[in-house]
Amino acid sequence: MPELPLRYFCYVCGHENNLTLEIPNAPKIKRDEITCTKCGDVTNLLLTSCPHCNNAFKYFLSDLDFPHELTTLADTYVQLINGIKNSLSGVVKEFNVPLPKRWSVKLDCQCGKSYTVEIPLPQI
């Protein structure tokens, strides 16, 4: 798994944090947290690298824990669909709603190749 040396300046206090992070090759994406060593502010990080060249990487910084929010919303949706399905069991013979198995996004690498990263979603 490639490693990323990352120099990060805290959004809150401006302190420089030097990190080394392991990066999985796409379609895998890794969630990590950066905690400022000075003020303790936490920033969420998504990491992935190009599976074709293994050198280029993509990262996304956010105060929002995107994978957690995404899977929580998806789980709520799955529970809602399952509740509707159960409530209609005596009324309709079959009730099917297609559910995506993963959230995916297409990325372009500086090597010229395109690739997709994925976060698995809850299922019924």
> What pLDDT shows up at residue 13?
94
> Of 50-54, 67-71, 79-83, 87-91, which range is least confident?
67-71
Q: What is the mean pLDDT of the chain?
A: 87
Inter-residue contact 44 to 62 (CB < 8 Å): yes
The ranges assigned to domains in the chain are 3-120
Per-residue pLDDT tens over the stretch 26-78: 999 888 888 999 999 998 888 899 999 887 778 777 777 888 888 888 899 89
* pTM score: 0.69
Report, in angstroms and rounded to the nearest whole number, the Rg of the chain calculated over CA atoms. Answer: 19
> What pLDDT shows up at residue 45?
86
Report DSSP letters for 83-114, one per residue. Answer: HHHHHTTTT-S-------SEEEEEEE-TTS-E
